[in-house]
């Protein structure tokens, strides 16, 4: 229990019948009384501790302003039966040591002023990772996931706590959607702050009005400088807000907000809602008119979205059918590239026969250099054809997959997971097949080049006899013929 808070509340209760005016903001509270000097003396004596420690500022106006020390020095000289102006000021933030997101309002009017949905500056200082703990003149506590209202009379300062994971997730989603649909517009207090069940009547009317205003701000395009809500849809509409309006259908507008700010289809829902609002409203209208039409507006939004979903389902199946058809076509194109690779592999293998044939021809002619050059040229041919064919096939593979991705990117109605499943069935196996053939092609070429190198080495190290014998044989025949000619002469 906070003893200073308890003492200050006791003073206010004791002097309640003498109250004249007060001023209050989230940090400071000042209250003025008009009361007899005897009452002032009684209060000064009873609560000497909080005045002498300067926990509460003490000001008495008698001929001049007297602080607590001046009052003590001059009290014996004050003799009057007239009421005197007496003012107390408490720095709530400092003297009560209020934690983050924790506020105290001694008057409900002050709370209404600063916690208003249109008072954006107050909420700029709030740590959105915690709830807001508010202490008010209440009989009972009330709360939701984002704010807690505590009775101030209990004199217990309850600090704010971290939001639950569910509340953090909800807040993050709302902020993300709001930033997207308003292109990073001003952050307004959450409508969720003002949705509390079982409130007493003197609070319910004010909370309903702010629930209405906050929900409308999140559905609108913006809030103008003159505090008019701007909606752009079927036409543009400017809504004048009424601070003294008794709202009847705040819960309906809050449900529309919750419906539009769900994770799925939020862009479409908000666009539909804005169009429906502007169809029902004039170019300039009032919040009272919206409140009157909300039951019809809510029903129309629901019906239009149901029709939109039905059209979307039809489009979904048509689009999916088209994507499957195109995926099959792209997969077939990739298979054609695999077939080309198989042809290249077979052609390379046939090249071994021509290489061996060329080497044999060089051997038969008794020319070592002919054999070596034939094998070297075939090795180079294998390498160059592999490099060219590999680059061509990889380029085609990348082009086909890129074209498929570009084609499917326009089908926004299909879920990304669904598009990925189609890709896994038709495209990815074909890509894997092309990559597999490329690896096989590489191994074949490496083997063929290695084989050519082995043949070249063998050709270099073959004994000269493999080449000289053939050469000698070719020269023996003319000698024999010559001898025969001379032998058989006359």
pLDDT digits (tens, 9 = 90+) for 52-108: 999 999 999 998 999 999 999 998 888 887 899 999 999 999 999 999 999 999 999
Q: Do 134 and 230 reside in the same domain of the chain?
A: yes
Looking at residues 289-293, what average pLDDT do you find?
Answer: 92
Q: Do 85 and 114 reside in the same domain of the chain?
A: no
**Is pLDDT larger for residue 391 or for residue 84?**
84
Residue 43 falls within a domain, yes or no? yes
Judge contact between 168 and 129, C-beta under 8 A. Answer: yes
Q: How many domains does the chain fold into?
A: 3
Judge contact between 342 and 440, C-beta under 8 A. Answer: no
Residue 309 falls within a domain, yes or no? no
**Is pLDDT larger for residue 359 or for residue 152?**
152
Residue 288 falls within a domain, yes or no? no
Residue 403 falls within a domain, yes or no? yes
Q: How far apart are CA 446 and CA 379, in angstroms?
A: 10
pLDDT of amino acid 390: 73
pLDDT of amino acid 283: 87
Query: H/E element holding 4?
Result: helix 3-14
Q: Which of 257, 282, 307 is the last residue of a domain?
A: 282
Does residue 113 have a pLDDT over 50?
Answer: yes
pLDDT of amino acid 14: 95
Q: How far apart are CA 305 and CA 269, in angstroms?
A: 7
pLDDT of amino acid 303: 81
Q: How far apart are CA 240 and CA 232, in angstroms?
A: 15
Q: Do 225 and 330 reside in the same domain of the chain?
A: no
Reading the block at residue 336, the tokens are: 């054609």
Looking at residues 220-237, what average pLDDT do you find?
Answer: 87
pLDDT of amino acid 360: 59
Computed over every residue of the chain, the mean pLDDT equals 81
Q: Please, which pLDDT band fits residue 356 given cuts at 50, 70 and 90?
A: low
Q: Residues near 413 by Cβ (< 8 Å), separated by ≥ 6? A: 312, 315, 316, 319
> Which domain, by its residues, includes 441?
315-476
| Chain centre to alpha carbon of residue 242 | 34
The most confident of the ranges 133-137, 175-179, 434-438 is 133-137
Q: Do 336 and 472 reside in the same domain of the chain?
A: yes
Q: Do 431 and 455 reside in the same domain of the chain?
A: yes
Residue whose entry in the numeric block shows the structure tokens 């054999």: 371
Residue 396 falls within a domain, yes or no? yes
Q: pLDDT tens across 27-40, in order?
A: 999 999 999 999 99
pLDDT of amino acid 369: 67
Does residue 451 have a pLDDT over 80?
Answer: no
Q: Do 325 and 462 reside in the same domain of the chain?
A: yes
pTM of the full structure: 0.65
The most confident of the ranges 106-115, 292-301, 412-421 is 106-115
Does residue 480 have a pLDDT over 50?
Answer: no
Q: Do 448 and 398 reside in the same domain of the chain?
A: yes
Q: Which of 265, 282, 299 is the last residue of a domain?
A: 282
Q: Please, which pLDDT band fits residue 348 given cuts at 50, 70 and 90?
A: low
The most confident of the ranges 251-255, 436-440, 443-447 is 251-255
What b/e readout covers 353-379, taking b as 16+ CB neighbours within 10 angstroms? eebeebbeebbeebbbebbbbbbbebb
- Closest C-alpha to 83, from 17, 24, 23, 30: 17
Does residue 319 have a pLDDT over 70?
Answer: no
pLDDT of amino acid 80: 83
Does residue 163 have a pLDDT over 90?
Answer: yes
Q: Which residues pair with 21 in a beta bridge?
A: 32
Q: Do 433 and 470 reside in the same domain of the chain?
A: yes
Q: pLDDT tens across 199-220, in order?
A: 998 899 999 999 999 999 999 9
Q: Please, which pLDDT band fits residue 131 given cuts at 50, 70 and 90?
A: very high
pLDDT of amino acid 485: 40
Q: Please, which pLDDT band fits residue 481 given cuts at 50, 70 and 90?
A: very low
**Helix/strand/coil for 360:** helix
pLDDT of amino acid 99: 94
Q: How far apart are CA 106 and CA 86, in angstroms?
A: 18
pLDDT of amino acid 244: 79
Looking at residues 316-336, what average pLDDT do you find?
Answer: 60
Q: Please, which pLDDT band fits residue 224 given cuts at 50, 70 and 90?
A: confident
DSSP symbol at 215: H
Q: Do 210 and 77 reside in the same domain of the chain?
A: no
Q: Please, which pLDDT band fits residue 164 given cuts at 50, 70 and 90?
A: very high
pLDDT of amino acid 365: 59
Residue 69 falls within a domain, yes or no? yes
Residue 489 falls within a domain, yes or no? no
pLDDT of amino acid 443: 80
Looking at residues 5-29, what average pLDDT do you find?
Answer: 96
pLDDT of amino acid 486: 40
- Closest C-alpha to 236, from 180, 182, 284: 284
pLDDT of amino acid 148: 96
Does residue 47 have a pLDDT over 60?
Answer: yes
Does residue 476 have a pLDDT over 60?
Answer: no
pLDDT of amino acid 489: 44
């Amino acid at each position: 229990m906070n003893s200073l808070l308890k003492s200050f509340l006791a003073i206010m209760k004791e002097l309640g019948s003498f109250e004249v005016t007060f001023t209050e903001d989230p940090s400071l509270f000042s209250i003025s009384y008009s009361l007899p000097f005897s009452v002032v003396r009684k209060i000064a004596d009873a609560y000497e501790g909080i005045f002498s420690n300067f926990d509460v500022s003490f000001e008495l106006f008698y001929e001049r302003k007297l602080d607590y020390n001046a009052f003590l020095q001059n009290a014996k000289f004050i003799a009057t039966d007239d009421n005197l102006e007496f003012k107390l000021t408490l720095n709530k933030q400092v003297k009560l040591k209020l934690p983050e997101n924790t506020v105290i309002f001694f008057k409900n009017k002050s709370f209404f002023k600063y916690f208003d949905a249109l008072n954006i500056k107050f909420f700029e200082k709030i740590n959105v990772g915690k709830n807001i703990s508010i202490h008010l003149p209440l009989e009972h506590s009330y709360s939701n996931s984002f704010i807690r209202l505590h009775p101030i009379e209990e004199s217990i300062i309850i600090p704010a706590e971290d939001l639950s994971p569910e509340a953090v997730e909800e807040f993050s989603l709302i902020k993300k959607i709001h930033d997207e649909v308003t292109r990073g517009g001003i952050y307004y207090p959450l409508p969720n702050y003002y949705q509390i069940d079982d409130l007493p009547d003197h609070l319910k009317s004010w909370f309903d009005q702010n629930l209405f205003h906050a929900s409308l701000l999140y559905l609108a395009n913006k809030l103008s400088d003159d505090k008019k809500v701007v909606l752009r849809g079927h036409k543009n509409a400017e809504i004048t807000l009424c601070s003294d309006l008794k709202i009847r259908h705040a819960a309906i507008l809050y449900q529309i907000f919750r419906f539009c700010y769900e994770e799925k289809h939020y862009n479409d829902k908000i666009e539909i809602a804005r169009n429906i609002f502007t169809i029902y409203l004039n170019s300039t209208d009032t919040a009272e008119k919206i409140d009157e039409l909300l039951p019809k507006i809510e029903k129309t939004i629901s019906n239009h979205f149901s029709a939109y979903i039905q059209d979307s389902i039809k489009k979904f199946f048509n689009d999916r059918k088209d994507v499957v058809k195109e995926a099959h076509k792209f997969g077939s194109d990739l298979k054609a590239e695999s077939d080309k690779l198989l042809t290249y592999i077979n052609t390379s293998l046939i090249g071994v026969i021509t290489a061996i044939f060329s080497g044999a021809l060089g051997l038969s002619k008794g020319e070592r250099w002919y054999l070596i050059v034939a094998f070297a040229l075939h090795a180079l041919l294998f390498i160059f054809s592999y490099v060219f064919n590999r680059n061509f096939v990889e380029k085609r593979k990348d082009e086909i997959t890129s074209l498929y991705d570009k084609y499917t990117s326009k089908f926004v109605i299909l879920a990304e997971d669904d598009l990925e499943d189609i890709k896994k069935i038709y495209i990815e196996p074909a890509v894997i097949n092309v990559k597999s053939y490329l690896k096989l092609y590489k191994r074949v070429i490496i083997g063929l080049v290695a084989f050519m190198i082995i043949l070249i080495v063998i050709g270099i190290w073959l004994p000269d006899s493999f080449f000289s014998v053939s050469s000698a044989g070719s020269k023996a025949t003319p000698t024999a013929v010559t001898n025969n000619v001379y032998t058989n002469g006359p």
